[in-house]
Amino acid sequence: MRTAISILVWLGAGWLALESLPANASADPATELTRCAELELRVAGLLRVGTALLYLDQCSDAKRILEPVPKKFSLELARPFRGQDLVATARSTLKQNLALRDDEDLPAPLRCMADAYVDADSGDRYDVVFRPDNGLSMYLNGELLEQCDASSGAEKYFMIWFGEQPFHRRMRDRLLEQALNHSGPASS
The reported pLDDT for the residue numbered 9 is 25
Measured at the CA of 45, the angle between CA 41 and CA 48, to 5 degrees, comes to 45
**Which residues on adjacent β-strands are paired with residue 39?**
52, 186
pLDDT tens sequence across 130-177: 999 888 999 999 999 999 987 778 889 999 999 999 989 999 999 999
CATH number at residue 177: 3.50.70.10
Cβ atoms within 10 Å of 32's Cβ, excluding its own: 15
The reported pLDDT for the residue numbered 12 is 31
Comparing 9 with 78, the larger pLDDT belongs to 78
- The residue segments making up the domain with residue 75 are 2-187
Does pLDDT of 22 surpass 70? Answer: no
Question: Can you tell me the distance from the alpha carbon of 50 to that of 35, in angstroms, rounded to the nearest whole number?
Answer: 16
**Which residues on adjacent β-strands are paired with residue 40?**
51, 187
Does pLDDT of 23 surpass 90? Answer: no
The reported pLDDT for the residue numbered 135 is 87
Number of domains in the chain: 1
**CA-to-CA dists, residue 135 to 1, 132, 150, angstroms:** 22, 6, 3
Measured at the CA of 42, the angle between CA 95 and CA 65, to 5 degrees, comes to 45
